[in-house]
A and B are shown apart, each in its own frame.
Chain A
Amino acid sequence: MVCIVSKKMSEHIVSVKNMTFSRAERVIYDGISLEVKTGKITAIMGPSGIGKTTLLKLIGGQLTPDKGSVIFQGEDVHGVSRNRLYELRRKMSMLFQSGALFTNMSVFDNVAFPLREHTKLDEDIIRTVVMLKLEAVGLRGAAHLQPSELSGGMARRAALARAIALDPDLIMYDEPFAGQDPISMGVLVELIKSLSKALNVTSIVVTHDVSEVLTIADYVYILANKKIIGEGTPEQIKDSESELVQQFLNGNADGPVPFHFPADNISDSLIGAKA
C-alpha cells in the first residue's frame, strides 16, 4: 500500500493575508498576516481569549473572515467550493483542546473513524493502520478502552492518533499542553517533535505555555491586541526588545497589556455605588 502523493512543495503551506475577523461586535483580528513554513513547527502564542482557537478555525474554513484570505497549499480556503474545502480538510487535521474524541465509540473506533469515512480500505488494513497510529502515541494497549476511561493526557494522545490517521500534511494543535501534568506535557512535547520529523508534517502549535513551545518551535508568532506583536525564531523572540513580547514571555501581571479590563475610574464607580 504505497501511495505517492504529489504535494505542492511550496515554501508556505498556510498563508494568512491581511485578515480581519470579528465576533458579534467584538473585533478579534484586525488585519493580521502570517505564514507557516512547510515541514516546520510554527508556534502561535497569546493570552487566553485572544482568539487562538478562532484562528485555527479560520484556517480550517469553519469560520469565514470579514476581510482578507487564508491560503492553504495554494488555494483560498474560503473561496473554494464546499466539496473542495472538504477535500482540503482531508490534508489538514486539528487536535482540539478537549481532544474531542467521540464519546460513543472506543479508542480504536475513534482512530479508525476517518479511515472508514474516507477510504475504502478493508477492516484488516484499517486495523493495522490504527494499531500503528496508536503505537506511535504509545496507546496500542488502550485500543479497547472507552474515551471516558482515559486520563486527560491519554485522551489527547488518542485524539492525536486520530488526527494523524489519514497522514495529513498539516496538524493544528490547539493548546496541547493546557491542563497537563509535567510528565504528560513532556510526552506531548516529544510526540509533536517526533511526529513532525518522522512524518514530515507541518505543525501549528497554539499555546500560552511559553517555555515548552520555545524548545520545539522553528518559528514563533505572538498575538495580542488583535494583532501580531512579535515574530521570529525562538532566539529572536527571547532577545526581542518589544515590551509587549517581554511582558508575555516573563508573565508580568501588568505592562503594555493591562491587568485591568477597561473600566471607569474606580473612585467614580465606588462613589456611584454609594449614591
Chain B
Amino acid sequence: MSFLHDLGRSTLQKVSSVGASSIMLFGALFAFPKWKNIKLTIEQMYVVGVQSLLIIMVSGLFIGMVMALQGYTILVNYGAEGSLGPMVALSILRELGPVVTALLFAGRAGSALTAEIGLMKATEQLSSLEMMAVDPLRRVISPRFWAGVISMPMLALIFSAVGILGGHVVGVDWLGVDSGSYWSIMQSTVEWNKDVVNGVIKSIVFALVVVWIALYKGYSCIPTSEGISKATTQTVVFSSLSILGLDFVLTALMFGIS
C-alpha cells in the first residue's frame, strides 16, 4: 500500500515538475520583446557566450587535430588521404561541433546558470523581485534563456571552424597532405543545407534543452547549499544525457533515411 502511495506521489511530482518547467519555459519565451530585456540579454550573452569562448576554441582545436591524426592513419592505408579534408569537416560540422559544444556548454555555462539562479533563490533575491512587483521570469530567466539559445549555435560554428583549422595543422602542415586537396575536396563535398544548416539546427535544439534544464533546475531547487549543489549536478547530468539522446534522434531524422 505504501509502495503504491509512494509510486503515485513520485509520479505526480514528476508530472507536475514537467508542467511547472513548461510554464517557466513559456514565461521565458514570451517575456522577450522588451527593450530593457534586450539589454539584459546582451549582457548575459557576454557571460554565457563570450566567457565560454576560450574553452570552446581550445577544445575545437584539439578535436580537429585528433580527427585528422586518426583519419589520416586509416585513410593512408587506402591511399585516400586526400579525402582527409571532407572527413574532418563532415564529422565536425555534423556531429562533434554541435555535440561537444553542447556538452562543454552544459558543464561551463549551464552549471553556472543553475548555481547562480539557485543562489539568488536562497538569498531571497527572487522573492525580493517578486515583492518589488518585478517578474523574475522576465527579469532574470528570460534574458539568460535567450542569451544561451543565441550564443550556443554561434559557439558551435566557432568550434567547427577552429576544428577544421586544427585538422589542417595536423593533416597538411605535419603529415603532409596536399593543402589544395584538403580545401577543394572539402568544398566540393560539404553541402550547405545538408551539413552546415543541419549542424546549426542540432545546436539550436541542444541549446534550448540545456538552457531550459539549467534555468529550471536553478529556479526550482531547494534553496539550501545541498539543494543548490544537487541541482547543479543534475543540470550537467540531465543536459548531457538529453544532448546525446537527442543527437541520435536528430541524426536519424537528418541523415538516416535518404
Q: Are B130 and A62 in contact (CB under 8 A)?
A: yes
Q: Are B131 and A92 in contact (CB under 8 A)?
A: yes
Smallest distance from the beta carbon of B73 to chain A beta carbons, Å? 50
* Chain A positions within 8 Å of B134 at CB level: 114, 117
Smallest distance from the beta carbon of A24 to chain B beta carbons, Å? 11
Q: Are B132 and A96 in contact (CB under 8 A)?
A: no
* Chain A positions within 8 Å of B133 at CB level: 86-87, 89-90, 117-118
From A34-42, A98-106, A177-185, A237-245, the one touching the partner chain is A98-106
Mark interface residues in B114-143 (1 if CB within 8 Å of A CB, else 0).
Answer: 000000000111011011111100000000
In whole angstroms, what is the CA distance A98 to B133 when docked? Answer: 19
In whole angstroms, what is the CA distance A254 to B128 when docked? Answer: 36
Contacts of A60-118 to chain B: CB distance below 8 A: 60, 62, 86-87, 89-90, 92-94, 96-98, 100-103, 113-114, 117-118
Smallest distance from the beta carbon of A95 to chain B beta carbons, Å? 9
Which residue in chain B gives the minimum CB-CB distance to A96?
B124
* Chain B positions within 8 Å of A102 at CB level: 125
Which residue in chain B gives the minimum CB-CB distance to A62?
B130
* Chain B positions within 8 Å of A89 at CB level: 130-133
Q: For chain A, give the interface size range.
A: 20 to 34
In whole angstroms, what is the CA distance A114 to B132 when docked? Answer: 7
* Chain B positions within 8 Å of A144 at CB level: none
In whole angstroms, what is the CA distance A129 to B6 when docked? Answer: 55
Q: Are B125 and A62 in contact (CB under 8 A)?
A: no
Smallest distance from the beta carbon of A14 to chain B beta carbons, Å? 14
* Chain B positions within 8 Å of A101 at CB level: 125
Smallest distance from the beta carbon of B20 to chain A beta carbons, Å? 15
Q: Are A62 and B124 in contact (CB under 8 A)?
A: no
- Our pick among A57, A97, A117 for the contact of B132 (Cβ within 8 Å) is A117
In whole angstroms, what is the CA distance A220 to B135 when docked? Answer: 33
In whole angstroms, what is the CA distance A103 to B124 when docked? Answer: 11
* Chain A positions within 8 Å of B128 at CB level: 94, 96, 100
In whole angstroms, what is the CA distance A87 to B132 when docked? Answer: 10
In whole angstroms, what is the CA distance A100 to B121 when docked? Answer: 9
* Chain A positions within 8 Å of B132 at CB level: 89, 93, 113-114, 117
In whole angstroms, what is the CA distance A93 to B127 when docked? Answer: 11
- Which of B124, B133, B135 counts the most chain A CB atoms within 10 A? B133
Q: Are A62 and B131 in contact (CB under 8 A)?
A: yes
* Chain B positions within 8 Å of A103 at CB level: 123, 125
Smallest distance from the beta carbon of A164 to chain B beta carbons, Å? 12
* Chain A positions within 8 Å of B127 at CB level: 57, 62, 94, 96, 100
In whole angstroms, what is the CA distance A62 to B124 when docked? Answer: 12
* Chain A positions within 8 Å of B125 at CB level: 100-103
* Chain A positions within 8 Å of B130 at CB level: 60, 62, 89
Smallest distance from the beta carbon of B143 to chain A beta carbons, Å? 12
In whole angstroms, what is the CA distance A118 to B131 when docked? Answer: 13
* Chain B positions within 8 Å of A87 at CB level: 133
Q: Are A98 and B131 in contact (CB under 8 A)?
A: no
In whole angstroms, what is the CA distance A92 to B123 when docked? Answer: 20
Smallest distance from the beta carbon of A168 to chain B beta carbons, Å? 10
* Chain A positions within 8 Å of B124 at CB level: 96-98, 100
In whole angstroms, what is the CA distance A185 to B130 when docked? Answer: 27
Q: Are B123 and A93 in contact (CB under 8 A)?
A: no
Smallest distance from the beta carbon of A55 to chain B beta carbons, Å? 14
Q: Are A94 and B123 in contact (CB under 8 A)?
A: no
Smallest distance from the beta carbon of B220 to chain A beta carbons, Å? 15
* Chain B positions within 8 Å of A57 at CB level: 127
In whole angstroms, what is the CA distance A147 to B130 when docked? Answer: 20
In whole angstroms, what is the CA distance A101 to B124 when docked? Answer: 9
In whole angstroms, what is the CA distance A118 to B133 when docked? Answer: 9
* Chain B positions within 8 Å of A114 at CB level: 132, 134
**Which residues of B line the A interface, CB within 8 A?**
123-125, 127-128, 130-135
Q: Which 8 A-B pairs have the closest CB atoms?
A: A100-B128, A100-B124, A89-B133, A86-B133, A96-B124, A94-B131, A90-B133, A114-B132
**Which residues of A line the B interface, CB within 8 A?**
57, 60, 62, 86-87, 89-90, 92-94, 96-98, 100-103, 113-114, 117-118
Q: List 7 A-B contacts (CB under 8 A).
A: A86-B135, A90-B133, A93-B131, A96-B124, A98-B124, A100-B125, A101-B125
| Beyond A103-B125, A118-B133, 18 extra complex contacts between A and B, CB < 8 Å | A57-B127, A62-B127, A86-B133, A86-B135, A87-B133, A89-B130, A89-B131, A89-B133, A94-B128, A94-B131, A96-B124, A96-B127, A100-B123, A100-B124, A102-B125, A114-B134, A117-B132, A117-B133
